[in-house]
Amino acid sequence: MITVLRYGHRAVRDKRTTTHVGLVARTFGADRFIVVGSDSVPVNTVNNVTERWGGDFKAEKVKDWRSFLKNFKGIRIHLTMYGKPLSEVIEKLQTYKKEDVLIFIGAEKVPADVYETCEFNVAVGNQPHSEIAALAIFLDRFTGGKWEKKKFKDAKLVIKPQERGKKMESF
């Protein structure tokens, strides 16, 4: 099971970004999305998408993120531009594919103890960019592209891909 934890969500400023982190997590192979804090908006938006577009993905809030992180039974991976390059650690990380994996991503500055608690600090390039981009690339590499074959069961909306135009079935 892959869980993505979004640390540092700021209710007014980050609504859209945090929602996009959740949607990226859902599409690219994660199973669960945790938003730190009390803002229900991104959690409800992501769960509404799952309700319409299918699958078992769950979004939820957590207040005490530190205890969640400390007590997580599995491998904790912190995505940060200060970490080891993804290409150097991806083979090792893939040996944990069958275990519970927590992917920790920030918004603004991440407290120093996160770097100590997580088993891995991983950089998607050692340049500052975006948590959305970092998560998408990480999940693509970690799942070996298998997210593309993922089935979203009980979907009420299913796109019928075609060369031009928009075709969708509703159930």
Nearer to ligand SAM, 5 or 46 (CB): 5
Least distance to ligand SAM, CB of residue 123, Å = 4
> Across the strands, what pairs with 168?
159
3-class state of residue 166 by DSSP? coil
Q: How far is the CB of 128 from ligand SAM (least distance, A)?
A: 5
Can you give the binding site for ligand SAM, defined by CB under 6 A?
79-81, 105-107, 109-110, 123-125, 127-131, 134
CB of 104 to ligand SAM, least distance (A): 7
3-state SS, residue 56: coil
Distance between CA atoms of 109 and 91, rounded to whole angstroms? 28
The whole-angstrom separation of Cα 89 and Cα 123 is: 10
Task: Give residue 171's Cα distance to chain centre.
Answer: 28
Which is nearer to ligand SAM, 10 or 70 (by Cβ)? 10
- Of 53 and 138, CB closest to ligand SAM: 138
In the bound state with ligand SAM, the residue whose beta carbon lies nearer, of 53 and 65, is 65
Residue nearest to ligand SAM (CB): 106
How far apart are the C-alpha atoms of 96 and 142, rounded to whole Å? Answer: 10
8 Å CB contact between 120 and 77: yes
Smallest distance from the beta carbon of 71 to ligand SAM, in angstroms?
A: 21
